[in-house]
Amino acid sequence: MPIAFTALCALAWVSAGADTPKPVYLSAKWDPIHFKPAIETATDEQCLTCHREVLERRPRSQTISGESSSDLQAWYQTLGVYRGEQESFHRRHLVTPDAKRLMDFRCNTCHQGHDPKDEISGSADDTQRDLTSRKSVDPEICVMCHGKFDWEIMAGLAGDWPAVRDQFKDDCVTCHKEYRTVRHQLSFLNTEEIEEAGKESGDSCYGCHGGRAWYAIPYAYVRRPWLERMPEVEPDWARGRPTEYDERFRR
Ligand code: HEC
Ligand code: HEC
Ligand code: HEC
Ligand code: HEC
Ligand code: HEC
């Protein structure tokens, strides 16, 4: 991989002009763009100069033993709103039709710096603080869209969505036109398109609220004031929750 990678970089460097020094794998790996503060203002184009493979790589269409990927269904592929061929993780968040319609990710929405040496914060004085141990992305953001459907706190729901979907005619907005009406005001979400898709089916809402639950836990969303009829008494489960997200996610 380093050899192919270096070749790729060499191309990028050659096209950048004759005066530019020859690429060195180690310097590229430790390029300041990977760390705060530079990563906070990096553009996707800058990252993709060296990492185009994250958008181009595709999963195999056949296993080594000869099974076709279209014959093998994982649980998340049985979701009503799963579309298309098997795709890679990055493509599912950046280039598939649903990714483009519902979301607006940048590389640095998820990538906030990582430590190529120890994968841990604070092992030396000059490493970036606040890294999540052994991860190059803080998974907190993943749980926002890949947590469990928290039906227990939703008054009026007797079970998980697949069990009550028909009762509510596959429509979350029956209730959510009244409850928690100020939502999806974050930089990486396409607010209007999410509501449009929600009119087509509740399953498209469920797609980010339980349908692709990689985590067994629900996410504790902030509880913003609703437009009207917000009960004055705060339920126990909501006590102490903030009413706004981290600055970097705000529009
Ligand atoms: C100058 C070329 C270059 C640029 C620009 C660049 N990277 Fe990298 N990046 C590398 C190299 C080289 C490595 C080391 C790869 C390895 O060891 O497998 C690396 C490693 C990484 C890794 C860790 C890979 C792993 O397996 O541990 C991530 C994540 C990453 N880069 C993301 C980014 C993001 C996000 C940006 C834009 C903010 C970016 N890179 C910009 C060259 C670059
Ligand atoms: C939805 C969140 C998300 C977005 C958006 C995202 N990444 Fe990643 N990326 C991840 C996660 C999670 C990993 C795996 C991290 C780990 O192993 O700790 C990863 C891994 C990587 C790696 C190393 C492994 C590999 O697949 O080669 C590179 C390089 C990388 N990302 C570059 C990018 C670039 C460039 C962009 C923008 C075009 C980008 N990422 C956008 C979440 C994201
Ligand atoms: C804003 C919501 C959102 C966030 C945040 C998010 N995802 Fe996703 N994720 C989605 C959606 C929507 C899809 C399905 C896209 C599609 O079907 O084209 C998806 C698909 C996936 C898939 C399935 C890929 C496949 O093969 O079909 C995995 C795995 C995944 N996400 C993991 C993660 C991880 C890990 C993170 C955190 C780094 C993350 N997601 C952050 C919304 C999100
Ligand atoms: C029977 C009415 C009803 C239906 C149907 C319903 N919800 Fe809810 N939902 C609620 C109530 C009530 C709350 C809690 C409101 C409060 O007090 O903050 C809630 C809260 C939520 C929350 C916030 C959870 C938290 O931890 O803050 C999300 C996200 C949510 N619902 C998504 C959905 C999705 C997606 C669907 C459809 C798949 C759906 N709901 C269907 C009534 C409903
Ligand atoms: C692309 C992924 C995605 C889809 C699709 C989606 N959501 Fe969300 N939802 C999120 C994320 C991320 C948050 C956290 C940001 C926020 O609270 O606004 C969230 C938060 C919420 C909240 C809590 C907001 C608050 O402040 O009280 C509710 C309620 C909710 N969603 C309902 C829905 C409903 C109803 C639909 C369908 C119309 C839907 N979601 C579709 C990703 C999604």
Angle among Cα 137, 140, 144 to the nearest 5 degrees reads 120
C-alpha to C-alpha distance for 70 and 211, rounded to whole angstroms: 20
Does 106 fall in a domain?
A: no
Question: Residue 113 in contact with residue 40, Cβ under 8 Å?
Answer: no
- Closest to 188 in 3D by CA, of 93, 49, 61, 73: 93
pLDDT in tens, the chain (251 residues): 444 444 444 444 444 555 667 779 999 999 999 999 999 999 999 999 999 999 999 999 999 999 998 898 889 998 999 999 999 999 999 999 999 999 999 999 999 999 888 888 888 888 888 899 989 999 999 999 999 999 999 999 999 999 999 999 999 999 999 999 999 999 999 999 999 999 999 999 999 999 999 999 999 999 998 888 889 889 999 999 999 999 999 98
Residue whose Cα lies nearest atom 43 of ligand 5: it is 208
Does 239 fall in a domain?
A: yes
C-alpha to C-alpha distance for 155 and 194, rounded to whole angstroms: 23
Backbone angles phi, psi at 186, to 5 degrees: -115, 155
Does 184 fall in a domain?
A: yes
What is the reported pLDDT for 18? 55
Q: How far is CA 208 from CA 18, 44, 105, 236, in A?
A: 48, 24, 15, 24
What is the reported pLDDT for 11? 45
Q: Sign of the CA dihedral 74, 218, 211, 159?
A: positive
What is the reported pLDDT for 5? 47
What is the reported pLDDT for 9? 45
Does 172 fall in a domain?
A: yes
Backbone angles phi, psi at 47, to 5 degrees: -65, -40
Does 129 fall in a domain?
A: no
Does 101 fall in a domain?
A: no
Residue whose Cα lies nearest atom 31 of ligand 1: it is 34
Instruction: Return the ligand 3 atom nearest residue 141 CA.
Output: 5
Domain total for the chain? 1
C-alpha of residue 175 to centroid of ligand 5, in Å: 13
Question: Residue 221 in contact with residue 91, Cβ under 8 Å?
Answer: no
C-alpha to C-alpha distance for 96 and 90, rounded to whole angstroms: 9
Give the length of the chain: 251
Residue whose Cα lies nearest atom 23 of ligand 4: it is 221
User: To test ligand 5's pocket by mutation, which of 208, 215, 248, 250 has the most ligand atoms within 8 angstroms of CB?
Assistant: 208
Does 165 fall in a domain?
A: yes
C-alpha of residue 183 to centroid of ligand 2, in Å: 26
Backbone angles phi, psi at 68, to 5 degrees: -85, 140
Does 218 fall in a domain?
A: yes
Cβ-based neighbour number of residue 62 at 10 Å = 12
251: Cβ contacts below 8 Å, ≥ 6 apart? 185, 186, 187
C-alpha to C-alpha distance for 111 and 72, rounded to whole angstroms: 31
Helix (H) or strand (E) holding 6: helix 2-16
Cβ-based neighbour number of residue 183 at 10 Å = 16
Helix/strand/coil (H/E/C) assignment for every residue in 164-176: HCCCCCCCCHHHH
Domain hosting 183: range is: 139-251
What is the reported pLDDT for 20? 67
